[in-house]
Amino acid sequence: MAGYDIGVRIVSHETGQYLRGIVGIDGWAKFATALKAYADCRPATSSENSATSNAVYLMLMGYVLEDLAKCIIAFRAYTPEITDVTPFEERLRDFRFMRRDGQERRLSTHKLDDLYLANDIGFQVEPIEIDHLKIISIYTLWKGRYPVPLEIADMHSSSEPSFEDLSTTARSVYDRDIAEIERLRSLRA
Whole-number Å distance between alpha carbons of 32 and 63: 8
Largest separation between any pair of C-alpha atoms in the chain: 56
Mean predicted confidence (pLDDT) in 99-106: 95
- Is the per-residue pLDDT at 93 higher than 90? no
pLDDT at 5 over 80: no
Q: pTM score, two decimals? A: 0.81
Alpha-carbon gap, residue 65 to 130, rounded angstroms = 12
Q: Which of 138, 122, 132 is nearest to 164 (CA)?
A: 132
Chain mean pLDDT for the chain? 81
Alpha carbon separation from 93 to 25, 89, 109 (Å, rounded) = 17, 6, 10
Pairwise pLDDT comparison (44 vs 162), residue with the higher score? 162
Ordered alpha helix ranges (H), the chain: 24-39, 50-76, 88-94, 112-116, 127-138, 163-188
- Note the pLDDT of residue 138: 93
State yes or no: pLDDT of 23 exceeds 50.
no
Distance from C-alpha of 104 to C-alpha of 114, rounded to nearest angstrom: 9
**For residue 8, pLDDT beyond 90:** no
Residue 110 pLDDT more than 50? Answer: yes
Look at residue 45 in the predicted model and tell me its pLDDT: 66
Tens of pLDDT, residues 39-64: 998 776 656 678 888 999 999 999 99
